[in-house]
């Protein structure tokens, strides 16, 4: 296929969204590992990305392309060595991971990373409902939220609603990851980062969670970036698709153009990289 150049995508972006203000902007972001040594490498290499409110962007790229680093730079786990990260036009480059949680939520690939194993499902949901807020010396009031959590958990269609008082560590991987997802979206974050969140699950469970994810994002109009290795998912979901290669965005389609894209075209594009 004719690889779309950066210039033309930028033009279509501007035409599409001239009236919208961007939610998140990454400007010329570079990250360096092993700085000042012979092994100095740039993981992100002058990356530019503009995310508009309501965007659901699927992120593709081979191993080492910088997908996880991109998420870490947005999430504040890693600082950009060059360039700037803006939220609503204001630089958040200096903000810590904890500070950024007031607008950002993240689901990791490993179900174990997203939940507290010795705390119950309901306790986990309560913890996450206070995302980015002050946690004071006030009684937690778990009981009055139980009905709400039951309803919330039942949307995942995996019996999670009947295990609210179970320690998270004894849930199945699928239930645990569904809980991680609920914890990420329950406070309706301005930006949701999904880091291959269905990759560790079996095909059926993975599909179930992906469907629930899509429904929830649509219902709450969430802005989301989703890393995936499944080309089908990248094509099926979202309104925009980007491909990372060698620390840069080398492919960026949205709207109608993305709908027209076929698996073969995408696959060939990867072959050419």
Partner 1 sequence: MSLITSAIGQGLLWAVLGLGLFLTFRILDFPDMTVEGTFPLGAATAVALIYRGMNPLLATLCAFLVGMVAGLITGLLYTKGRIPILLAGILVMTAAYSVNLRIMGRANLSLLGKSSLFKNDFLASLPQYFDSVFVGLVVIIVVTLLLVFFLNTNLGQAFIATGDNPTMARSIGIKTDRMTIMGLMISNGMIAMGGALVAQNNGYADVNMGIGIIVIALASIIIGEVAFGDLSLTQRLVAVTLGSILYRFVLLIVLQLNFSANDLNLLSAIILAICLLLPRFRKFFHFDRLIERSVRDERNN
State the residues that interact with partner 1 by CB under 8 A.
75, 97-99, 101-102, 105-106, 108, 112-119, 123, 126-128, 130-133, 135-140, 183
Beta bridge partners of 254: 240
DSSP sequence for 167-227? BGGGS-HHHHHHHHHHHHHTT--SEEEEESTTTTS-HHHHHHHHHHHHHHHHHHT-EEEEE
Q: Are 78 and 31 in contact (CB under 8 A)?
A: yes
| Cβ closest to partner 1, residue 131 vs residue 258 | 131
| Cβ closest to partner 1, residue 89 vs residue 139 | 139
Q: Are 7 and 249 in contact (CB under 8 A)?
A: no
Least distance CB 94 / partner 1 (angstroms): 16
Least distance CB 87 / partner 1 (angstroms): 15
Least distance CB 4 / partner 1 (angstroms): 34
**Burial of 219: CB neighbours in 10 Å, binned 0-12, 13-18, 19+:** exposed
| Token code pair at residue 226 | 């989703």
| Cβ closest to partner 1, residue 196 vs residue 252 | 196
Least distance CB 213 / partner 1 (angstroms): 17
| Cβ closest to partner 1, residue 140 vs residue 259 | 140
């Amino acid at each position: 296929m004719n690889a779309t150049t950066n210039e033309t995508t930028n033009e279509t972006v501007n035409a599409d969204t001239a009236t919208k203000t961007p939610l998140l902007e990454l400007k010329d972001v570079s990250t360096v590992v092993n700085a000042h040594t012979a092994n100095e490498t740039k993981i992100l290499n002058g990356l530019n990305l503009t995310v508009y409110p309501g965007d659901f962007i699927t992120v593709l790229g081979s191993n080492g392309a910088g997908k996880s680093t991109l998420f870490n730079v947005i999430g504040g786990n890693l600082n950009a060595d060059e360039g700037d990260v803006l939220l609503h036009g204001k630089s958040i480059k200096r903000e810590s991971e904890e500070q950024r949680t007031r607008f950002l939520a993240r689901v990791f690939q490993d179900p174990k990373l997203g939940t507290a194993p010795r705390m119950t499902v309901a306790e986990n949901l309560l913890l996450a409902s206070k995302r980015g807020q002050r946690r004071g010396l006030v009684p937690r009031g778990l009981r009055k939220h139980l009905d709400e959590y039951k309803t919330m958990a039942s949307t995942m269609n995996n019996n999670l609603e009947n295990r609210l008082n179970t320690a998270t560590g004894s849930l199945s991987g699928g239930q645990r990851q569904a809980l991680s997802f609920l914890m990420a979206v329950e406070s309706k974050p301005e930006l949701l980062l999904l880091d291959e969140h269905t990759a560790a699950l079996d095909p059926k469970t993975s599909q179930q969670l992906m469907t629930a994810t899509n429904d929830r994002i649509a219902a709450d109009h969430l802005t989301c970036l989703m890393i995936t290795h499944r080309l089908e998912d990248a094509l099926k979901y979202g309104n925009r698709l980007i491909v990372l290669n060698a620390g840069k965005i080398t492919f960026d389609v949205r709207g109608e153009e993305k709908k027209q894209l076929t698996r073969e075209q995408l696959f060939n594009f990867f072959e050419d990289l």
